[in-house]
Structure 1
């Protein structure tokens, strides 16, 4: 409501039309018990009461409250009292001059003061509500900026972490199968090109993400050969789906990092399936419960990173399950497409 300027103005006009016409409607109603002329039937008096009420409302809401109340509350209340007193005397002068002096002054001032107090109460409520809305908006903007900064930091971590793992793979391959280094470098160039030109996009096509996963898995197949049984199954019957870039690769990286080595008959399975509104992603790998791996300082960055990105980008739109059964480590991700 506050962001739409025209709606904002329209609502204020409607409010004041209702407030100022109500005394007129009441003034022209038949009342056999009434012995005095209703002062609101006089255009000048009605105009003064209406304008003075509008003046008090906006003076308080646009000037006094935002500029004085928070800094000098005593000055604020003294100024407000002075303004209301001036309006009361002005109202009495208009009443006597244009309507007549057959009035009870005490009763007149009490009624007029109550009316202005009512206008002030509405204005004060409006001020507190507006101020609360603005503070909430500022908090939301600050939170959004904080989340954007955090997301940018998380994305920036992907490149060095991924490069670290790729270089380790390349060093290992050079020692065992140096003749395969060249095709692996070509695969790596495709992966790096994707990282450089795609990872900063807000959303990319799921097909590109699948190609990226396929290139990475092909690289690992070249590296390990027949030593590791690797499966990559995709069932994507729905096109034009988008996803956050490099969201799935950390799960696959983790499987290769912990699913090979001193493990008998290592096995890694990657399954990706799409429904109309959901992505289903599953990664499984064998692990050894007898031997504990020595972890370096970078261990776990990828998984922690992707979990936090899921929280930021897909709040309440994903389900992540991790299970360990019969020496098989499995992650299952269900992700609702945006």
Structure 2
């Protein structure tokens, strides 16, 4: 912000130096054909013209336009006219007092009015442009706040949805292998610690996200045992990179949600390949076309959630492909690191 203000300040100084210097450069040109004395050779007159132009510019931009134009446009234009008339009268007084009374009044007022009108035009253009820039900035801020609120809501959906699935896993495990409940609870505590303390960070290391996925998959292996063929392959050569927390887990959750149950020889494969510029994440699972199989009402929350988060956080930086072939459901994500 300070840098922008400084740049504007310097630009204004340069503009006024150039504007006020032009009459002087013209006044001191050696032109023997001139029959009249150029009034700008008089320091007092030149100073008044320069200062009055600056006054017109900033009184219009900082007072009249900023405080009156939008509320009372007629009063604004009357104020501008009154200001120009006062400056014209003062300019005429300085002209006849310090330069001389040998003057064509009509031509003087026309020339002076055109000059002030020119300054007013630049000032008004500056006002409209600045106002447009401010409105655009406000709009961007509002949009950012809206996106932050939406993103916060999307993130908040993950925890309850994930907890719902975890509790189902724990209940199932308790019925089948009660001796494994304690180690699984410890594993769940690691997952919950990640969700509570790192979920709200803007970015986390890819290495931590991979560890989180690994813990989740290990938990599912304990739950299903040999019933489900689970593969998890990681090639993380881009561990120094960071991503949105809990961005990948919904794909894996979805695979376990729809890849087990009334399915013969269920199979789930998770592949992650990352380098310094790109992340490739692929999840495949078998699925059943049997419409008699009923999923709970929470089905689909995870994937819809993550799709929206990708749109918000990685616009034009990702490719997401979903395919179904030979009872195999595959989600393929390619994400370019920022």
Q: Deviation of residue 30 (structure 1)?
A: 2.2
**CA separation of 1:292 and 1:283: change in aligned 2, threshold 3 A:** farther
Aligned to 1:28: 28
Matches within 5 A, 1:57-136: 57-136=57-136
Output the TM-score relative to the length of structure 1.
0.97
Q: Deviation of residue 129 (structure 1)?
A: 0.3
Matches within 5 A, 1:219-230: 219-230=219-230
Q: Deviation of residue 314 (structure 1)?
A: 1.2
Q: Deviation of residue 211 (structure 1)?
A: 1.0
Separation in structure 2 between the aligned mates of residue 2 and residue 307 of structure 1, nearest angstrom: 38
Separation in structure 2 between the aligned mates of residue 280 and residue 165 of structure 1, nearest angstrom: 25
Separation in structure 1 between the aligned mates of residue 268 and residue 244 of structure 2, nearest angstrom: 24
Aligned to 1:238: 238
Separation in structure 2 between the aligned mates of residue 168 and residue 125 of structure 1, nearest angstrom: 65
Q: Deviation of residue 178 (structure 1)?
A: 2.4
Is 1:54 aligned to 2:54, yes or no? yes
Aligned to 2:300: 300
Matches within 5 A, 1:228-267: 228-267=228-267
SS in 2 for 1:57: helix
Larger mean CA deviation between 185-194 and 125-134 belongs to 185-194
Separation in structure 1 between the aligned mates of residue 48 and residue 292 of structure 2, nearest angstrom: 86
Matches within 5 A, 1:267-306: 267-291=267-291, 293-306=293-306
Contact 2:317–2:335 (CA under 8 A) maintained in structure 1: yes
Q: Deviation of residue 200 (structure 1)?
A: 1.2
SS in 1 for 2:37: coil
Separation in structure 1 between the aligned mates of residue 221 and residue 266 of structure 2, nearest angstrom: 13
SS in 2 for 1:158: helix
Is 1:318 aligned to 2:318, yes or no? yes
Separation in structure 1 between the aligned mates of residue 242 and residue 250 of structure 2, nearest angstrom: 18
Aligned to 1:162: 162
Q: Deviation of residue 2 (structure 1)?
A: 8.6
Question: Could you say what the CA RMSD is over the residues aligned between the two structures, in angstroms?
Answer: 1.3
Output the TM-score relative to the length of structure 2.
0.97
Aligned to 2:142: 142
Please list the CA deviations of residues 205-248 of structure 1 after superposition, one character each: whole Å capped at 9, or x if unmatched: 11111111111111111111111110000011233121111110
SS in 2 for 1:48: helix
Q: After TM superposition, which residue ranges in structure 1, 4 or more long, deviate above 6 angstroms?
A: none
* Count of residues paired in the alignment: 338
Separation in structure 2 between the aligned mates of residue 238 and residue 126 of structure 1, nearest angstrom: 48
Aligned to 1:41: 41
Contact 1:39–1:95 (CA under 8 A) maintained in structure 2: yes
